[in-house]
Amino acid sequence: MSYTGKAVRLERIMNRRTWRTVIVPMDHGMSLGPIKGLVNMTETVDKIAEGGANAVLGHIGLPLHGHRRHGKDIGLIMHLSASTSLSPDPNDKVLVTPVEEALKMGADAVSVHINVGAETEGEMLRSLGTTATKCREWGMPLLAMMYPRGRKIDSETSAQYVKIAARAAAEMGVDIVKTNYTGSVESFREVTKGCPVPVVVAGGPRMETTKELMETVHDSVEAGGGGVAMGRNVFQAEDPVKMLRAISGIVHQGWSVEEALKEL
């Protein structure tokens, strides 16, 4: 395993001082098509980089069609698994890109999506294990999107399920976990305390108010979270640059919700 290689790559997608990260996922085109904010990927990446995000995340189409030869640099996390909204089972995520391809494309990290509790959980965990082994071999950081979804799951934001999903990822050898926020500082602290690697919160669908979004960011960090991975709430915002400056202020500079709202 290349420990130095992994350390160098991790520093490209995480803040060296806070050891937290602000990631903007742009993988929605695979499942939802050309939604608002992802029609012109180059333009969106420009705004995300200008706003101060640490990394963008997407399928191989992101570096192929969104790579810029100008502007502020930004980390690249390549997503390796996929399904579409037209699939008979959209919760069944399959590997579509190998780790080696991400290396060739200049990625700083890779990510895999696992729906814990889904009918095909076993196959997805097998894919995560295979990917984790390859990542250790190449010194490539691995982010796992771990969501409780399935017949046994009555609430995808319940701490009792989220903390199992997060810990399972750490047990598989991932470096960063992306999962749902559980709704309160106290309940999310159960998740972060039980997971030995950074846990970043997902944004999910557009939130009703900007204040609600900032409270989620602030409270997740207060609970020991490692930052955020928010897509639609950022690239579909009226001003993605200001939105990211506000989020980054909370994550990396310790801003209050009020200070973040002033930025907006």
Task: Render pLDDT for 72-92 as a digit per residue (tens, 0 to 9).
Answer: 999 999 999 999 999 999 999
Q: What is the pLDDT of residue 1?
A: 64
Which residues span the domain enclosing 150?
Answer: 3-200
Contact 247, 220 (CB under 8 A): no
> From the candidates 46, 147, 163, 181, which is the catalytic residue?
147
CATH number of the domain where residue 104 is located: 3.20.20.70
CB atoms within 10 A of CB 259: 15
Instruction: Look at residue 224 and tell me if it is in a domain.
Output: no
Residue 29 DSSP SS3? helix
> From the candidates 6, 47, 134, 178, which is the catalytic residue?
178
> From the candidates 6, 27, 47, 175, which is the catalytic residue?
27
Tokens of 217: 């960011």
0.85 exceeded by the pTM? Answer: yes
Taking the C-alpha atoms of residue 242 and residue 116, their distance in angstroms, rounded to an integer, is: 34
Q: What is the pLDDT of residue 58?
A: 98
CB atoms within 10 A of CB 262: 11
Tokens of 45: 């990446």
Instruction: Look at residue 207 and tell me if it is in a domain.
Output: no
Q: What is the pLDDT of residue 10?
A: 97
Contact 23, 200 (CB under 8 A): yes
Contact 152, 117 (CB under 8 A): yes
Q: What is the pLDDT of residue 7?
A: 94
Instruction: Look at residue 210 and tell me if it is in a domain.
Output: no
Examine the residue annotation and report whether 27 is marked as an active-site residue of this protein. yes
Residue 178 DSSP SS3? strand
Instruction: Look at residue 215 and tell me if it is in a domain.
Output: no
For the chain, the domain total comes to 1
Contact 231, 258 (CB under 8 A): no
Instruction: Look at residue 134 and tell me if it is in a domain.
Output: yes
Q: What is the pLDDT of residue 205?
A: 76
Residues of the chain with pLDDT under 50: none
Instruction: Look at residue 250 and tell me if it is in a domain.
Output: no
Instruction: Look at residue 42 and tell me if it is in a domain.
Output: yes
Examine the residue annotation and report whether 147 is marked as an active-site residue of this protein. yes
Nearest CA among 219, 223, 232 for reference residue 260: 219
Contact 115, 109 (CB under 8 A): no
Instruction: Look at residue 177 and tell me if it is in a domain.
Output: yes
